[in-house]
Structure 1
Amino acid sequence: MIKKLLLASAATALLTGAASAADLPRRAAPPPVFTPVPVFTWSGAYFGINAGYAFDASSNNTSSFAVPAPYGNGTTAYFGQNNQEGFSGGAQIGYNFQLTPGNGVVFGVEADAQYLDFGRNRNRSIVTGPLAAGYYVTDPRGLSSLDFFGTVRGRLGYAFDRVLVYGTGGFAYGSGSADRSFGGYAGNDSFRTGYAVGGGMEYALPVDSFLNFFRSSAVTLKVEGLYVNLDRNTRNQGALVINAANNFPVAYNPVGRRSDEFAVIRAGLNYKFGSY
């Protein structure tokens, strides 16, 4: 009898303890860890390459040169400036700063250097009248004397997350190879300066893009259009009569200032470094 009472008491105590334990407050589960999605920003330095097509944008498509005696007798040379077009390609480097990540104003600066394929029509002319044997005429002005150009421009735009729409403008320069322009004449001042304006659109690919060879914070693709106006100075920049035997000018026709205008449509690839 006593043994049964002891067992009953022990069972009651166990049940009471279990019930009390069930009534104790449970430990709250830890809150889930929230990882914010990074907001893209265009801020940072970048470099890249570009390629496109350049073409004449001037309104003056022809020029003429009266060949002096004894190299001509009532002879006139006409130089066409139409069909001055060709490949353009080069590289750029720059820096952007975005005021607010995500959507916001972006401003920056960019410099580029470009090759121009205008030289194939360098000596194209039509001559009316007799021209002395052993001589030819050429006009080093215009786009045909340009071998390269470059710009240093500001950029201002607005970003819609990974899409940037911008305008650009600033300093431009260009030059030709003297020995290709007209016989290496030391008086050639083929270097010219001016301005460039334009605009474009740029899109940032994901960081894990297969194009991200340099492990940059972003790879961006852009399409851009530029209008370039280069103004020559006044030193011996007119048409020339060249002695074919030694490829040296024997006469020239100085003219006043002339603007060389062309447009460039190009696509580019940039690698951005800095903030994501």
Structure 2
Amino acid sequence: MYGHQLGCRNSVILSEIPMKLHLAAAAVFLTSTSVGYAADMAVKAPYAAPAAVWSWTGFYIGGHVGAGWGTTESTLTAINPGGVIPGGFAIAQNSRSGFLGGGQIGYNFQSGWAVFGVQGDFDGLDVKGTTPCLAGAASCTAKSNWMGTVTGRLGGVVGDRTLVYVKGGAAWLHTDHTLGITAGFGGPGVGSISSSSTTLGWVLGLGAEYAFDHNWSAFIEYDYIDFQKKNIALDFSGLVGGPASANVDIKNKLSIAKVGLNYKFGGPVVARY
């Protein structure tokens, strides 16, 4: 009887051994699989979002400051009464300089490396100069007060965020002209005669602009502007006690150097994968 019970117990023990072996094998398999999966996870590179590429396309607005310098040529063409002066009589050539500041608004469109745009500027000016004229009997002063320009721009992208461009278009300049009498007409310092002109001209410029943020960019620019000849009338009636005037041709040329900031609406629209 005892032998029979021992035999049964041994049979139970032997039957449990294969089951334990199967469980152990399954545990080893699961452990090796988990370790292998963890190793694969460790060597996989983290996900990187596509990098945004700067685009110059869009509307922008900004401001600038700078300096202007140039010349004003004055030529007497007629005296009334008296008549036309054949060929004219050169009165003076002023050298002018001063500061300016203003704003700009525009739109750019980028296609590949090329950038096309249009821009409007408006400036307040304090560009002036005075020189002796009429053989020292007077002083001629020219002071430009404001200027506006409308230009087209053509540029190319250098690197990721630098734009080099040229521009050209039309310009309008308002200038006050003053003839101060220092001798004659009854003695020194007897008075002055003033008139003003708004002249049309053409502008050529070049510059470089760098985008240091998704929306902000800084630029530096040089412009040369040549204005049409403009005829103005100077009224001497108050100085001579009777109707008298002079017609004078005015010719302005101006150079401008400026630096400024632009804010572009929107942000990068192209993604680099």
Q: TM-score, normalised by structure 2?
A: 0.70
| RMSD (Å) for aligned C-alpha atoms | 3.9
Deviates more, 1:152-161 or 1:79-88: 79-88
1:241 maps to amino acid? F
Alignment match of 1:110 (pick from 95, 107, 119): 119
1:99 aligns with 2:94: no
Larger relative strand fraction:
2
Alignment match of 1:254 (pick from 243, 247, 262): 247
Alignment match of 1:228 (pick from 218, 225, 244): 225
Contact conserved, 1:231 with 1:260, CA < 8 A, in 2?
Answer: yes
For residues 195 and 78 of structure 1, do their structure 2 counterparts lie closer, same or farther at Cα, with a shift above 3 Å needed? closer
Structure 2 CA distance for aligned equivalents of residues 15 and 262 of structure 1: 93
| Partner of residue 155, structure 1 | 153
Structure 1 CA distance for aligned equivalents of residues 60 and 100 of structure 2: 21
| Partner of residue 191, structure 1 | 198
| Partner of residue 203, structure 1 | 210
Deviation at 1:128, TM superposition (A): 4.4
| Partner of residue 189, structure 2 | none
1:176 aligns with 2:175: yes
For residues 118 and 10 of structure 1, do their structure 2 counterparts lie closer, same or farther at Cα, with a shift above 3 Å needed? closer
Structure 1 CA distance for aligned equivalents of residues 127 and 242 of structure 2: 22
Query: Highest Rg: 1 or 2?
Result: 2
Structure 1 CA distance for aligned equivalents of residues 243 and 237 of structure 2: 6
SS in 1 for 2:51: coil
| Partner of residue 96, structure 2 | 84
Larger relative helix fraction:
2
For residues 165 and 63 of structure 1, do their structure 2 counterparts lie closer, same or farther at Cα, with a shift above 3 Å needed? same
1:192 maps to amino acid? T
Please list every run of 5 or more consecutive structure 2 residues that lacks an aligned counterpart in the other structure.
1-8, 82-88, 181-191, 269-273
1:39 aligns with 2:37: no
Contact conserved, 1:139 with 1:240, CA < 8 A, in 2?
Answer: no
What do the CA deviations read for 1:166-218 (whole angstroms, capped 9, x no partner)? 0000011111358x799897xx5612111111111111113xxxxxxxxxx42
Contact conserved, 1:156 with 1:166, CA < 8 A, in 2?
Answer: yes
Structure 1 CA distance for aligned equivalents of residues 143 and 118 of structure 2: 28
| Partner of residue 241, structure 1 | 236
1:125 aligns with 2:123: no
For residues 222 and 242 of structure 1, do their structure 2 counterparts lie closer, same or farther at Cα, with a shift above 3 Å needed? farther
Contact conserved, 1:138 with 1:242, CA < 8 A, in 2?
Answer: no
SS in 1 for 2:14: helix
**How do residues 9-28 of structure 1 correspond to structure 2 at under 5 angstroms?**
9-19=18-28, 21=30
Structure 2 CA distance for aligned equivalents of residues 34 and 110 of structure 1: 38
Contact conserved, 1:218 with 1:271, CA < 8 A, in 2?
Answer: yes
SS in 1 for 2:244: strand
Contact conserved, 1:145 with 1:181, CA < 8 A, in 2?
Answer: no
1:253 maps to amino acid? A
2:55 maps to amino acid? T
Structure 1 CA distance for aligned equivalents of residues 267 and 227 of structure 2: 37
1:164 maps to amino acid? L
What do the CA deviations read for 1:11-37 (whole angstroms, capped 9, x no partner)? 223224335546879767587423111
Contact conserved, 1:139 with 1:239, CA < 8 A, in 2?
Answer: no
Contact conserved, 2:200 with 2:228, CA < 8 A, in 1?
Answer: yes
Structure 2 CA distance for aligned equivalents of residues 175 and 259 of structure 1: 12
Provide the identity percentage. Answer: 28
Please list every run of 5 or more consecutive structure 1 residues that lacks an aligned counterpart in the other structure.
70-76, 132-136, 207-216
